[in-house]
Amino acid sequence: MYRLLIVDDEEMITDGLYDTLAGCNMGLDLCKAYSGKEALGWLHRTRIDIVLSDIRMPRIDGMQLLSIIKQNWPHCRVIFLTGYSDFDTVYQAIQSPGVQYLLKSEGYPKVIQAIGEAVAELDDSLRRNELLRQAQEKLNTLEVLARGEYFRYLLHGVKPALSLEEDFCKLNILLDPGRPVYVAKGDLSFPSTAVSSYADRQGSALAVTMMAESFLSGLARCLGMIDRFGDPVWLIQPLAERMGGNVAEEGTPILPYLEGQFELIQQACLESLELSVAVTLGDRPSDWMKLSSTYDKLRRKRQTRTGDGAQMVQTVSLEASCCAKMRSPRDKSDALAAHLDAGRRNEFLLIMEELTESERDNAAPYLLELYYSISLVLLSYINQWELEDQVTGVSTLMRRDEFASWEEAFQFLRMTAETLFELRRSSERNRAAEAIWKVCTYIEEHLEEDLSLVRLAGYIHFNPSYLSRLFKQECGVNLSDYIEAARIEKAKEMLRNGEWKVLEVGARVGYESSQSFTRFFKKAMGVSPQEYREASRK
């Protein structure tokens, strides 16, 4: 439903228009104001879609009102009514898109027609085709995917390894890490008769996410993502340059703007996507370091909604004094599993420490959930890599009652995690040693062949630069130096044996040209191959 505001300093005109339009059943939510100042109050308090206003009014006139509307509600359509034939004012007004001009003498039918046209324009602006096309282009970039993955970790309480400034710069995130951010969470409801696949639901969530970014771009920077539950989440920062400089010299209240824009987004989703979207919004910006707890409050608020919550925009108080329930350990189990799989020991233990550091202050049901949440992460990893025979007390992971205290139970989990990380490091070292042994063996058996870094890397299925670095790390010498040394030793052995000519020795260690072999050998040994043979005989 669109909201129309009637503004005129003559009460008779304002009331007459209100009564006439109320009887037309145009499906509009009607509001009225008897001055520009009163209209400003409406514009700061709620979303307004159409303004029907007199141009000439005391203190704040129609043109001043127009500049505020265009700054704060860029989608809003404006229809000016006046009894004055003021060409300069009219000309100035009609230069702005979305603005119509009517003489009061043209009567109510003309006003109703103009409002109908404004409604049609608003309907057109809500069409999603172009927005979805733009969204799809953005979704096809790795940059968008990387941002979403990064913020999903922040939402679930994983602290960034670098500073926010460095991360934002690397990921080209336009939000300001030095300013707090509003958080909004969407909840999609699909028609009960619809049978949709995971891809359909994910695609719809992404379309809603990007559509909201477009709607909110007029007064704020916005970044949308999909959380682990498949719901859209938006991080929003008002544009500093757009939040002041109005007639009253007061900053524009951002919360009513966000609520109003989300109402439009809901309407667009319902009409274009046939999706009902509910939105839960924090009532104030959140510090980046408190992003995880803010997100938790929004989720909990959504779980305790009034009624079915469809098409609802509700705000959540984020006052520090608000009672904050502890987050479910399951919310961080994904992060624990990801760090364990990637071998990030410090990050894993840091999250585990945060979860268990206050076990004495928590109730037994929470501690029980916490214990088994961590146990399942560890047990899943053990089963995945078949480590049952290498980890002590695997069966104990799922038997909390074997420990005399919570402190002892969580200490056992920490020790098990340390064991898994140590096994991983040991396994990595063993695999590295085995791979380098294979390379060395291949070199010894193929000295007469091409032993370029590229060929050896292909043999071991590594990329060349990694093989070079790993070889130096494991053996302490460069791969090329090792190959030269192996060829020298083989050549010396064959020269001492005396069965082969110098040319044959060179070919058997990879040198088809006797001159090349002689130059190589003399550089390494200080004497020619023939001189070395003669000296060895003596």
- The average pLDDT across 518-535 equals 93
- Alpha-carbon distances, residue 366 vs 141, 298, 325, 490, 532 (angstroms): 41, 20, 11, 68, 79
- The average pLDDT across 409-414 equals 95
Give the domain 446-537 fold.
Arc Repressor Mutant, subunit A (1.10.10)
Residue 243 reports pLDDT greater than 50:
no
Quick one: pLDDT band at residue 192, thresholds 50, 70, 90? low
Q: What is the pLDDT of residue 411?
A: 94
Rounded to whole angstroms, the maximal C-alpha distance in the chain is 127
Query: What's the whole-model pTM score?
Result: 0.56
Quick one: which of 15, 16, 62 has its CA closest to 39?
62
Q: Is the separation of the CB atoms in 427 and 434 below 8 Å?
A: no
Quick one: pLDDT band at residue 322, thresholds 50, 70, 90? very low
Q: Is the separation of the CB atoms in 410 and 439 below 8 Å?
A: no
What residue spans define the domains of the chain? 3-125, 129-316, 330-427, 446-537
- Rounded Cα distance between 39 and 35, Å, is 6
Quick one: pLDDT band at residue 153, thresholds 50, 70, 90? confident
Q: Which residue has the tokens 């006046």?
A: 82
Is the model more confident about 6 or about 537? 6
Lowest mean pLDDT among 19-33, 140-154, 463-477, 513-527: 140-154
Q: Output the CA torsion 370→375→380→385 (10° steps).
A: 140
Question: Across the chain, what does the average pLDDT equal?
Answer: 85
- Rounded Cα distance between 38 and 8, Å, is 10
- Rounded Cα distance between 261 and 390, Å, is 57
Residue 533 reports pLDDT greater than 90:
yes
DSSP type of residue 284? S
What do you get for the CA distance between the two ends of the chain, in Å? 107
CB hemisphere CA count around 79 (13 angstroms): 24
Quick one: pLDDT band at residue 219, thresholds 50, 70, 90? confident
- Please identify, in words, the CATH class of the domain defined by 129-316: alpha beta
- 282-316 pLDDT, tens digit per residue, is 999 999 988 988 998 898 887 776 676 778 899 99
- The average pLDDT across 248-264 equals 75
Q: Percent of the chain beyond pLDDT 70?
A: 86
Lowest mean pLDDT among 375-379, 418-422, 464-468: 464-468
Q: Is the separation of the CB atoms in 422 and 348 below 8 Å?
A: no
Beta-bridge partners for 238: 220
Q: What is the pLDDT of residue 251?
A: 45
3-class secondary structure, 144: helix
Supply the CATH classification number for the domain 3-125.
Answer: 3.40.50.2300
